[in-house]
Amino acid sequence: TGLDALIKSKGKKYVGFCADPATLNIAQNVAILRAEAGQVTPENSMKWQSIEPSQNSYSWGNADTLANWAQTNGKIIRGHTFVWHSQLPSWVSNINNKATLTTVIQNHIAQVAGRYKGKIYAWDVANEVFNDDGTRRSSVFSNVFGDWTFLDVAFRAARAADPDAKLCLNDYNLDYSGAKLNNFVQLVKDLIARGVPIDCVGTQSHLVVGNGAIPSFKSTLDALASTGLEVQITELDIRTNASPSSQQITQQGNDYRSVASACIKTAACSGITIWGVSDKDSWVPQTFSGQGYALLWDNNYQKKTTAYNGFVAGINS
């Protein structure tokens, strides 16, 4: 039983959740992870700010705890993340020289991917490189390089450091078919065409209950699958009012079913990571005032049967 076992019975690789020492300290949360997960993603501990806060000074403790917990409990790990404009220490964002930044990216990835070599199923090598209008996001990486080739540097460094890890490009708001999704797919095709080592695409899937993009979620996965790469749903949650109406609760069950079903019916979709276990530990209420209720377990670590059963029905579809 459990979501991971169920999706594996349908030929997929995993259902997982984000985790980190902060939530691995909560007994009820850990019991749910043990029973339901086949995969974990470090919610924060492997981000640049967390792991190399000052140059060549690594803070491995939280990431090691997460990685050791995963190994002890038989869960695969999605590594998250190397090249990202956010949670980036100022010593990196202040670099203004391409040669220096190239070496810094290569060294960071060599150290981090090298330390966890052989333990990572897939790395989010780069995260959120597009704006919502589909243009290239301004960051120290895109600004100093002036083009997309910071991705070439990062993916090559990751391949060199851990040849067995799948290397992903990850982004959010790909759900609303349009310029962002189209340009993301085109960028991946361009990377492949010029020989950059990339194996997978990640769609975060931070969704909103009742949003019109959800019934057509399969078309988003199909567009991503047109790259020819493995497709992963990497940070799923479906938020609504923190105190939802009964109609919103019902709709959320339908929405979780639609997403799970879309993965099941898309051959390239290998697995689904949900961005947290309990609503209590979700990023949503801190970011969107008055919103929450986005996950499959409530504030008391009790299963939300409508959402959970919807997700199960999607896997069984």
- Does residue number 102 form part of the binding site for ligand G3I (CB under 6 A)? no
For 292: left if phi > 0, alpha if psi spans -120 to 50, otherwise beta; the answer is left
Min CB(19)–ligand G3I separation in Å: 11
**Pattern 13-52, ligand G3I, x by CB under 6 A:** ------------------------------xx--------
198 in Cβ contact with 169 (< 8 Å): yes
Min CB(55)–ligand G3I separation in Å: 21
Q: Catalytic site residues?
A: 235
Min CB(204)–ligand G3I separation in Å: 5
Min CB(267)–ligand G3I separation in Å: 26
Radius of gyration of the chain (CA): 19
- Does residue number 203 form part of the binding site for ligand G3I (CB under 6 A)? no
- Does residue number 279 form part of the binding site for ligand G3I (CB under 6 A)? no
Min CB(237)–ligand G3I separation in Å: 9
Instruction: For residues 282 and 288, give the distance between their C-alpha atoms in angstroms, rounded to a whole number.
Output: 11
Q: Identify which of residues 66 and 315 has a Cβ nearer to ligand G3I in the complex.
A: 66
**Alpha helices, DSSP H, located in 19-125:** 21-24, 27-36, 48-51, 61-73, 90-93, 98-115
Q: Identify which of residues 299 and 309 has a Cβ nearer to ligand G3I in the complex.
A: 299
Instruction: For residues 228 and 213, give the distance between their C-alpha atoms in angstroms, rounded to a whole number.
Output: 23
Cis peptide bond N-terminal to 240, omega within 30: no
Crossing angle for the helix pair 179-193 and 149-161, to the nearest 10 degrees = 60
Name which position in 54, 68, 87, 96 contacts ligand G3I (CB under 6 A). Answer: 87
- Does residue number 86 form part of the binding site for ligand G3I (CB under 6 A)? yes
Which residue type occupies 175? D
Q: Number of residues in contact with ligand G3I, rule: CB under 6 A?
A: 8
Name which position in 175, 235, 255, 279 contacts ligand G3I (CB under 6 A). Answer: 235
Sign of CA dihedral 151, 156, 157, 161: positive
**Pattern 173-192, ligand G3I, x by CB under 6 A:** --------------------
- All residues at 6 or more sequence positions from 33 whose CB lies less than 8 Å from its CB, including other chains: 17, 19, 24, 40, 73, 75, 277
Q: Identify which of residues 253 and 285 has a Cβ nearer to ligand G3I in the complex.
A: 285
**Alpha helices, DSSP H, located in 176-245:** 179-193, 217-225
- Does residue number 281 form part of the binding site for ligand G3I (CB under 6 A)? no
Q: Which residues contribute to the site for ligand G3I (CB under 6 A)?
A: 43-44, 86-87, 172, 204, 235, 283
